[in-house]
Structure 1
Amino acid sequence: MRHPLLPQLIVDNNVTHFTIAGDWESRTAAELKAISEGLDVAGTTISDDVDSIPSIWAWPLLFEMALYDTRHPMHLRVLGEWRGLLAMLALKDWCEFPLTTDTIDITDLTTNSPGAKDFLQALQRLRPKSNPSDILDTTTTWNILNIVEFNGKPIGITSPTTLVCTSVKCFARISGVPWFDGKLLENPVPKLNSFEKTAVAGWLNNLRESTNTLPDTSIKNNLRGLLHTFIGDLDNNTAAPTFSARGLGLTQNLFTAMNNPVAPQDLPSSIKLVPSENKEPQKTLLVFDESIAEDWGVPPQNVFVWKGKTLATTQDFSRKRKPELSLPNDIELRRPQDFFSDKLFVIQGKNAFLKETTLAANGSEDLKFNQIDVTPILPFTEELLTYFDVRDLSERITFEQPHPGAPITVSLRFNLSGIQEQSREFTIKKVYEERNISTISTAPTVAVWPNFRTPDWKAYYTYFTTDGQETFYTKPFLAAGEKSDPRPDKDDRGNVNGEITKTERFPEAMLCEYKGAKVGVLLISVPEEIKSNNETWYVGVDFGTSSTTIYNRKGDSAPQPVSFNDRILYISKSDAYQPSMVYNDFLSPKREETPFFSLFQESENKEKNEPLLDGHIYFLEDYNKLSSAKNLVSNLKWSAIPSHREHVREFLKQLCLQCAAEAINDGAAKIECNFSYPLSFTETNRYDFTDIWGMVASDCEKKTGVSHQIVTPGQSESVVAAKFFASTLQNTQATGGFTSGAVCIDIGGETSDISIWQNNELYWETSLRFAGRHIFLDLFKENPGFLNLFQTWDSEKDSEENRRIREEAITSLKSMKNNDDQYDDQFYAQADALIQDKGQVLLDELPIVRDQSAIQPFFSLISLGVAGLLYYVGLLLNHLSNNTNFKSDIPSIYIGGNGSKILHWMAGGSFNPDNENGKRCRQHLKRVILTASEFDDNNRGIEISKFPKAEAAYGLVAAGIKLESDGIESSGDQPKFLAGERFTQNETDYEWDEILTDERFRNRISVNNLENIHNFIESFNDSLGTELPVDLNATLSGKTQGSAPIGEVIFEALEKVFQNYSDPTKEISGEPIFILALKELLRAKTRQWKNVDI
């Protein structure tokens, strides 16, 4: 296409004709003017640069000519450039244009730059004349040039005739200016929004008014006319703007009105991400995408990015980088790709995440990859979780796949702040081609405890395990400022195979990683908050040697056993999921009834002493799995190992956490916790136990928000057990007291706690280290093989299975038999679990096998222990009747605790009074009591607990009990013991009814005669011991003591005990001499039965 650089002449012209083409001729100025006026240039434009005029001043002069001459073929172009540069100066700070100026004085020849002086001299010689009529201001001439630069590159100069003049070429020098077409500046009016138009119009009006003082010339009038028209095209809004304090350095009189741009206006951004209503993120996100304007159907200059910046002023930024904006620290810019994961990870199979507890996105359940159904991990960054509620977010995500095998498009729909404070919706998308989709065969097992929320609960535990499968890793999302406490279980390569993490809030989502790379999120259906009824739970905790029992009471109602419901919320389960893994690593996945075993399992990756993280209560899933359980700690109540005391604290912390969970779900907001302990605890034991409970309560209150009050001092187990027997739970006719008297015996694993009452007044209480382990479990410990005498464990199973189970039990018990205390603890745990699991089956079989001669010693040994305990009770009654106002009348005998079940074994299956053997055993035991007490018989008998092991916990919170007891703790006295046998101390002989204390035991005592033991044996042999009579003169053979009479063995054992008691470096818990002798007698008879030396 040709351009009219040599246009035709108009019809009515005064041009003198030239006769010879190509010759230079001298003509007058009038003829040259006639040529200029005679050229037909109307309606033509010049699109190419004109750079062939041989003068460095040619372009400014041509710019002036074309600007003021509306008929000039370059007028529209130059006018657009002129307006464009003025608009850039006006909006420099508004739009953050990187404009600067550099001033040159062409008359200053002092420069040392090579060639510069010659160039300046050339400029001087060729500069246009500054006649007053040819310039706007006589004080501002061509001598001073202000070069306008964009990012350090020149794009124009100031002009004394046109104010500004653009560079001939601006290619690749300007960016981010909507009215720059890549080569030339254009008329900015169509590219400005209303705010920008107002700003530029006000700036131009100020500039126009600054020309009022200029000389009245035609060039001034032309300039003012152009400015007036420019302002008019900007909708004539000439409100005075606020100017920026930062100037461009334009100090000449004519240019001072252009020195200060319009100050940025704090305009609301159109692209602020609108968060969910319940979210208050600390930072504001601006979502930048060039397609927003098109999506909303508005010009890009109407979509504000930040302050004066709009999509129009940032539209040329590469999609690979973000616009450079001066944003405050609490505002950040994001591109759509910043929200998506690079790859889409999918799990094989539909609904890989549980529908009941996770939130699926639209279309996510209908995806296929490689011809199989898949479940996607939501391919988004965790940052979105700060801005969106998970349910809201799930509803904004959509998966689309036109047909199986097609690429998967994931879109996210959200609201931006919009225009004129009217939010608008915008959708971002990412297409995942086959190469960007990865499959994982199975999800991990992920769960959260507890499965509820309250405003103040601050201890949520997330359980993660791969179950040995190749899968992804996941951890809870943490809100801003939230802390977490993870316990990872890593393999040798550093891979996390399992992890438990404590967080302060219920996890809204899980963050997913695969081989160290972040791959997306899982959204959790967060439970609704539970509302409190402000009720109080009165909780009683019997932390026993073998098992722990918890009861609670609300108001004046009867106490109820506390059960730990399954409050685990599963998010996913792997293909290899096994409940036993959760048992071993975390919590019971089913409802756990009270009592439960007092077992603690320490974590292999323990860091501190935090329940569930560094260890947990071991809820027994299956007796057969106990022997394989790792890091199991038992005998918590009595262990002297310091680390085991820490385990006690962890055990009780978890217990209180789970109690609080049950209380909250029952509407309670406060827990008043009561605990008990045996009087046989040493002083240190009692103080430590009380301190532990105080720490546990404080910790639990902080974690749960449930008020915890520990009732101190703790109560003795002997007294609280009696409260149970005085309640209607044991006897519906009970009145809450013992007017006619009662002996209450709580036989536990390690202690038998005894209290004696009359007229509802406590006459005696004591705690004996002689209980279930000594009377019953030690028989299994010494001779586990006798279990082979039982024909069947379960009649529904075949005999081969019965034999297998029996052999496994015997093997496991034998494997635990060792002199080491640790092995003893493991044995008792194993034996307790065996009795719980198979005890009733064995009891049911006893009537069948009891007549076998080989099993008769078993019954006799149990009877020996029980009868000896009750004989000592008889001695206590004897003492009370002789030394207090206690009436010589046999009271009712109540026997409870787990050990009360021993009476059924003793009776060959049932101790119930309607059973012949049970009736006979009751008579024999009562006769033993009568012998020791020397009381007359009456119609009161022996009654066993209807709810073994419930006694102490129930009694701790029972209401309406009339029993009166100050208790040993309040009196400040040391526990006292009735000696039960004569003894010598400091060369003084004392009778069997002398009162002993731990302090008295410090002075060495000796025993030369066991008169009451002899009397007991005589009574026992006449009744319960007929099948296996006791003879102290019988020889006991063994490897350590050779052959010695049983009596001699007992005296030797007592001597060692007394020697230990007198050691001032040891803290002791004294025992009655009669009970010490009885324990040694039972040990001796047990060894005699097995004929082994332990």
Structure 2
Amino acid sequence: MAAGAEISEPAADALWEDKQRRVITDIGNGIEIDESAQTRGVSSIPDIYARPLTFQGALSSEKHPLRDRIVQEWKGLLSLLALHSVKPDLGKLQISPVQFNDEKFCRALVNLAPKPIELQSNGTTYAWTDILIIKFGDIAIGAMSPATLVYTSADYNRKLKDLRGFSLKDSEGYLRPPLKYEGLEYVGKWLEDFLDKFNRIAQTNDTPSQGHIYIGDINRLLADWLKEIKQELGLAQDKIIQSNKVKVAEEMPEAIRRNPPAFLSRYEIYQHILTPLVEGDVDSERTKSDYSLSMSRNKSGYLENKSGYKEVVVITPSLLSQNKTLWDGLTPRELGDDTHSLVSKFFNEESGAFINNINLKNHDSIWIRPELYFLTDSLLKNKTDDDILNTSESFLNGNETEFILPFRKEILYFFTPDDIQEKLKPRFVKTDEKVIFSFFLPLIDGQRVEIKKTFRTAKSGLQKGEGEIVEVEVPVLEIFPDYLGDFWCQYFMLCSNIDTFKIAPLNFAEHITVSQKEQKIETNQDRERAEIIRISGYNSFPEAVSINSANRGNQAYGLVLLSRNPDVEGKQFTGKSIVGVDLGTSNTNIYRYSNENTKRWVFSFSKYVRSILNSDPQSQGGNSVKKEKSKREKITRAFFVPTEDQHLPIPTLLRIFKAGITKDILLDQFIYFPSEPEYPNYVFTDIKWHEDTTNMIAFIRSTIFLVIVDLLQNRTGKIEFRCTYPKSYSDDKVRAMKRAWTEALENFVHVAEDGDKEIPEGKFIWVEKRRFDEYQGFYNITTKDNGKIVINTRPSFTTEGIAAGEYFSSDQINNDGTSPANKEDGALCLDVGGGTTDYSIWFDSKIRLDASVKLAGKQIANLLKNNSRVRALLFTNESAAALNEVKDDSLLFFSRLNFVLRKEEKLIASNLSSNAGSVEIAWLRRILAIEFGALSFYAAHLCLAVDEFLDSGLSKRAKENIFKLHWGGNAAKFINWIDYGRYEQDGIASQFLDGIFANTIYEKSIGSRAFLPLKIGQIQSPGHKDEASGGIVVMEKVSGPDEQSSGSARSLILIDDDVETKGRLEGLVLGERINVSGRKFEHYEVIGKNDFFNETRSLFENTELVQLERFISLINRVGRSTGLFPEGAQINLSLEEKLSIKQRVKNELAKQAQKGPDERDVEPVIILEVKYLLDILSHKMK
């Protein structure tokens, strides 16, 4: 209306009289026609009386030409009011009251209104001016009316017709009630309730003035409609419509209740019309869609730490054609009749949150196209004729090894690997040109829908919707260890070809942490890169491995589903093992004692390393076998662990990818297992003796890790470690070594508070606090499914010499009846290792002396390093060349030599024999005779000292028995070389060593101290390098980590009795006549190592070289008798050389004086002299 329009008001409501024409003229003149009005058209809604009256006329008159359409619209509008709260696509309904102000136009409209209608039996009348507009979005589609309850606007259909997704309309856009499959039963339930309430509230008497005509018409229309609905539903008229999915709300929607018009509180019928259906009181698990996925689990919220999707609606053309409930009463036909066009129109992505205008996010749900959402666009296969998957992995992977399952990781959000195999039943069907992959998806209504996808090679011509078969070079993919149980909380993966593939472990348990490090190796010959991945957390073994492209935008290639090792799943821990570890300079050995048996350890990597992909082809075909096998061996050894079993002893080598960083096992550092003499430059060799103990600690941690993995894999329940160390270790070194073992074991276990699944770094076993108990270092761990594990975190320790004595005297090891050491009447044991030789002397079945010297394999290796001609004669060309490469690097040379000696032991023995006449071999045999002669020479001095300590007890027994020297340790095998590679009891080496020992212990110049055993025997070990590790596991008593010598029983319970040391000779047996601070000491005397020093000053004056000259004399004389040192090969030292040796001894002791008392490493003087002698002779004799 134009501003200021003058309109006369009628004298009484609805009374026009003779002013009718003038009033209408005034209204007409007051209408403002402008450009905007022309654009938006003329709406009939402002004609607030004409439209409801004409609507009522058409609705009540059966002869009215528009009645059918008006009845349809009336039913449609009531249906909309009933359904808008339970059908999300109808959720935009709004109810808006019309407010009349006090302007003349409004007063005129109020005065023109028809008289109110008395609809309620309590006399409440419904005014025509109390108007509630019904809108859908911004479309005004109707209003409330006293005569018909509701009516539609005149032209709403033009806008509604083009409104996408609104289902309650006909082809022209007019409202209509729902069809049977569109929620008709819901409307019927609402109508039953409303009709009942309407009849109880409405005015039904026959007084003409009371509006009974309107009531009758409405009642009749409602009753007829309800009858039609029951007929459509196939329900008897006397039956109540049952639908548990919905119910009539108890009150109007909150949007109306929040700000209702004042008149609404009086109008009970309007209130009931505005009270819609809501979800019924049924199981909260009820789905809104008949196409919802029947999930075995729900991990879809894993990445965002949410509960996941409540429903996943599966969309396929075949499912849509069933026309079941798509979402909350909405059916596919409400969106359109052509199911294929529905897919392209409404579901053209792999997943989505909207169905038409229904936002599934509001219900934490999505829809998916399974062939896009669950399947990849690529099918991987080996580019050779070999399979891509190892046969051991076929069970959970469709019983197929030629292809990788083309699943995306999303499939695991809803199904476990076992469910995928058993319920989804993945299957490959192969033809010449294509592969059809299929699987079944279970739906909530019990049906199973088959999903298929065709894959072809690109050259065969891909069609729309098909995937590509991609042929690839198979990467190395290993998992270590294989599944151990839910309590084990660290697993590792190795992945090669990282420029092509991005491989990731999948585990959806809580608090799983994945860490990865890319490492690379660069040499003159090779350049390799690999990724090492650690999966940490309680129950962290991967369910699957996802394989993606590293260079195609992280495109998904597929999954390998992983089963859990049935050999350990649920199997109980039983039995116990004592583990003896001898960490040597060159080699490390481990023994075990269990079930009354002792045996050398084998790391069964073939059992607990799991190869996923067939990078080492299992089929014999083509040239791929050799090529791929070498690749896999190279990658696993270089970056990870070997996949073949490793028999101990093993070289003491540590792989450190980045120097100085040893924090994380396998990611940063691990034991290196060589397969060839050339080691990468990141392999460290000086583990045992380096002043910085970092690498030693790392090696110990890795050793513990491997041993415990092995024992737990075999379900050993009780574990005790025992460790050896050389007597020559400084006190500080001993403490550092003991501390490293104890801390590594204590840190192996994480004790968690109840419900805490967080795993700190470096922990490998998880246990709840309520399932854990600790007593004197024994960790008692009760697992959930496998029983109890007991780990003694306080290892027992002893010296290598003592352990070797136990080894040689053990009937379990030396079972031939003649060779065991006679610990009762006297025996001497030598463990000749890479860095030290450890002595132990036994008498009355007790250890009487325990000593260590640094004259061992290192000196022999140094001699070989300086003589290339000998290396050429003994070793293969390949090995000799490998040694020549590092002849200027002592540590690398010694390490490579150690590997060559183990690998070519039999060949070396043959070459020694075949080159017996060679000058170089003769030189080598003499050098070996000098070193082992020196060890025998010093052994005699030790026996003399012990005999005096025992008041001649040792000599008395020795004169009546055979006194045996038991030679063990890896370097003791060099004695065999003196006999051309094969040791014999009466051979040259044995005779030579007998002669040196006898002539030293029976030296007449020492008078009554001298003695000669009844017989002397030189016994070689039945298993070189087994002595220390094998001996400690059979010991009856071993010291704990805080004890100085023996003191714990073989069982797992430590005994805290005081250790008896009174019966043992302590101190340094000199082996040479020396002068210290004005006093002369004889060669058989014993001195404390710190007696050489006064604080930081050396008190040592000189050595007289008496025993060295005696030793050289014995070498010459005994050597001549055995043929080792014939005329012309005798040893002679010049005065200059003697003075050099004397000065070097003095300098060494002065150097030791500068160290702290616990750091000093004081050697017997005769041993220093012999080492300096060997330096001189190695240059003179080569």
Same fold, judged at TM 0.5 (above): yes
8 Å contact from structure 1 (residues 483, 503) kept in 2: yes
Q: Distance in 2 between matches of 1:80 and 1:349?
A: 69
Match of 2:928, SS state, is: helix
| Whole-angstrom CA distance in 2 between matches of 1:685 and 1:849 | 43
| Aligned counterparts of 1:209 and 1:1024: Cα–Cα separation in 2 | 131
Larger deviation: 280-289 or 547-556?
280-289
- Seen in structure 2, the aligned counterparts of structure 1 residues 989 and 607 have a Cα distance that, compared at 3 Å, is closer
Contact 1:100–1:152, Cα closer than 8 Å, also in 2: no
Q: In 2 relative to 1, CA 195–547 (structure 1 residues): closer, same or farther, beyond 3 Å?
A: farther
1:735-814 equivalences in 2 (<5 Å): 738-774=823-859, 776-789=860-873, 805-806=876-877, 808-814=878-884
Secondary structure at the counterpart of residue 352 of structure 1: coil
Match of 2:759 in 1: none
Partner of 1:36: none
Whether the 8 Å CA contact 1:982–1:1009 is kept in 2: the answer is yes
Distance change >3 Å, CA 1018–CA 152, structure 1 → 2? same
- Larger mean CA deviation between 763-772 and 393-402 belongs to 393-402
Matched, 1:130 2:115: yes
**Residue 506 of structure 2 is aligned to residue 472 of structure 1:** no
- Tell whether 2:1003 aligns with 1:1011: no
1:569 paired residue number: 610
Residues in 1 aligned to 2:597 and 2:931: alpha-carbon distance in whole angstroms: 38
Partner-residue secondary structure (3-state), 2:477: strand
- Alignment partners' CA distance in 1, 2:430 and 2:994: 86
Match of 1:483 in 2: 513
Say which of 390, 410, 429 aligns to 2:417: 390
Distance verdict in 2 for CA 1:537–1:205, change over 3 Å: farther
The offset of 1:742, in angstroms, is: 0.6
Is the CA contact 2:1116–2:1130 (under 8 Å) kept in the aligned structure 1?
A: no
Q: Distance in 1 between matches of 2:660 and 2:447?
A: 51
- Partner SS, residue 218 of structure 1: helix
* Residue pairs, 1:789-868, within 5 angstroms: 789=873, 805-806=876-877, 808-818=878-888, 823-868=889-934
Give, in whole Å, the separation in 2 of the partners of 1:400 and 1:697.
Answer: 48
SS at match of 2:810: coil
Amino acid at match of 1:781: K
Candidates 213, 222, 226, aligned match of 2:221: 226
Structure 1 contact 898–948 (Cα < 8 Å) conserved: yes
**Aligned 1:242-391 pairs, distance under 5 A:** 242-243=249-250, 246-249=253-256, 251=261, 252=264, 253=267, 254-265=269-280, 268-269=286-287, 270-276=290-296, 282-289=307-314, 295=319, 299-301=323-325, 305=327, 318-320=346-348, 321-323=352-354, 324-325=358-359, 333-336=367-370, 339-341=373-375, 343-347=377-381, 348=383, 351-358=387-394, 376-391=403-418
* Aligned match of 1:101: 94
Cα offset, 1:747, TM superposition: 0.6
Aligned pairs, how many? 978
SS at match of 2:131: strand
Q: Separation in 2 of the partners of 1:179 and 1:135?
A: 30
TM-superposed deviation, 1:108: 1.9
Per-residue CA deviation, residues 658-713 of structure 1 (Å, 9 max, x unaligned), is 32333234331332111111121112211211121123323445425654324434
Moved more, 172-181 or 473-482: 172-181
Gaps of at least 5 residues in structure 2 are: 1-40, 205-209, 337-341, 456-461, 616-623, 750-762, 767-788, 1004-1008, 1048-1058
Q: Following the alignment from structure 1 to structure 2, what is the Cα–Cα distance between the partners of residues 205 and 691?
A: 87
- 2: distance between equivalents of 1:1000 and 1:402? 85
- Which whole-Å deviations, capped at 9, do the CAs of 1:89-130 have from their partners, x for residues lacking one? 2233222332443535363256xxxxxx97x689668x6623
**Cα distance in 2 for residues equivalent to 1:124 and 1:490:** 89
2:1106 aligned partner, one-letter code: E
Which runs of 5 or more structure 1 residues have no equivalent in the other structure?
A: 1-48, 111-116, 366-374, 794-804, 1036-1043
| 1:908 aligns to 2:986 (yes or no) | no
Contact 1:757/1:763 (<8 A) preserved: yes
1:449 and 1:934 mapped to 2: Cα distance? 60
CA displacement at 1:879 relative to structure 2: 1.3
In the other structure, the counterpart of 1:454 is 485
Contact kept, 8 Å, 1:552 with 1:957, in 2: the verdict is: yes
Q: What secondary structure is seen at the aligned counterpart in 1 of 2:133?
A: strand
Over aligned residues, Cα RMSD in angstroms? 3.9
| Letter matched to residue 504 of structure 2 | K
The aligned residue for residue 12 of structure 1 is none
**Secondary structure of the structure 1 residue equivalent to 2:1181:** helix
Retained in 1: the 8 A contact 2:985–2:1018? no
Q: Does 1:523 align with 2:560?
A: yes
Inter-CA distance 841–364: structure 2 relative to 1 (3 Å threshold)? closer
Q: 1:172-205, CA deviations, whole angstroms, 9 ceiling, x for partnerless residues? A: 5755554334623222262455873565246524
Tell me the equivalent position of 1:179.
168
Instruction: Check conservation: 1:1032, 1:1045, Cα contact below 8 A.
Output: no
Alignment pair present for 1:580 and 2:634: yes
* Contact 1:409 1:431 (C-alpha < 8 Å) held by counterparts: yes
1:628-707 pair list within 5 angstroms: 629-641=680-692, 645-701=693-749, 702-704=763-765, 707=790
1:1036-1090 CA distances to partner (integer Å, 9 max, x unpaired)?
Answer: xxxxxxxx72211111211211111111468221111111112111122112224
Aligned-pair distance for 1:637? 0.9
From the superposition, tell whether residues 666 and 75 of structure 1 become closer, same or farther in structure 2 (CA, over 3 Å). Answer: same
CA offset digits 1:944-990 (Å, max 9, x no partner) = 10111111111121267999998279579997311222333333333
For the residue of structure 1 that corresponds to 2:806, the secondary structure is: helix
Distance 1:1058 1:389 in 2: 69
Q: What is the DSSP-based 3-state SS (H/G/I as helix, E as strand, rest coil) of the residue aligned with 2:346?
A: coil
SS in 2 for 1:60: helix
Given that 1:206 and 1:257 are in contact with CA atoms closer than 8 Å, whether structure 2 keeps it comes out as no
| Distance in 2 of aligned mates of 1:486 and 1:569 | 18
Deviates more, 1:728-737 or 1:479-488: 728-737
Partner of 2:646: 592
Contact 1:378/1:521, CA 8 A, preserved across alignment:
yes
Are the aligned partners of 1:726 and 1:961 in contact in 2 as well (CA < 8 Å)?
A: no
The one-character-per-residue Cα deviations of 1:42-83 (angstroms, maximum 9, x if unpaired) are: xxxxxxx99999967554333322333344343333323222
Whether the aligned pair in 1 keeps the contact of 2:494 and 2:640 (CA below 8 Å) is yes
> C-alpha distance in 2, partners of 1:61/1:934?
141
Counterpart amino acid of residue 76 in structure 1: D
1:494-521 Cα distance to aligned partner (Å, 9 max, x none): x994211122433222212212323132
Question: Any conservation in 1 of the 2:85–2:276 contact (CA below 8 Å)?
Answer: yes
Give aligned-pair identity as a percent.
20
CA 1:986/1:909 → structure 2, altered by over 3 Å: closer, same or farther? same
Rounded to whole Å, the distance in 2 between the matches of 1:191 and 1:677 is 84
Taking the TM superposition and a 5 Å limit, the aligned residue runs for 1:526-541 are 526-529=563-566, 530=568, 531-541=571-581
Of 138, 156, 167, the match for 2:142? 156
Q: Distance in 2 between matches of 1:959 and 1:410?
A: 62
1:1047 maps to 2:1047: no
Deviation readout 1:380-431 (Å, 9 max, x if unpaired): 321211321224324626567796446x65444221222xxxx332334556
**What letter matches 2:868 in structure 1?**
P
Looking at structure 2, the residues matched to 582 and 144 of structure 1 have their Cα atoms a distance apart, in angstroms, of: 85
- Per the TM alignment, residue 923 of structure 1 is displaced from its structure 2 partner at its CA by 3.5
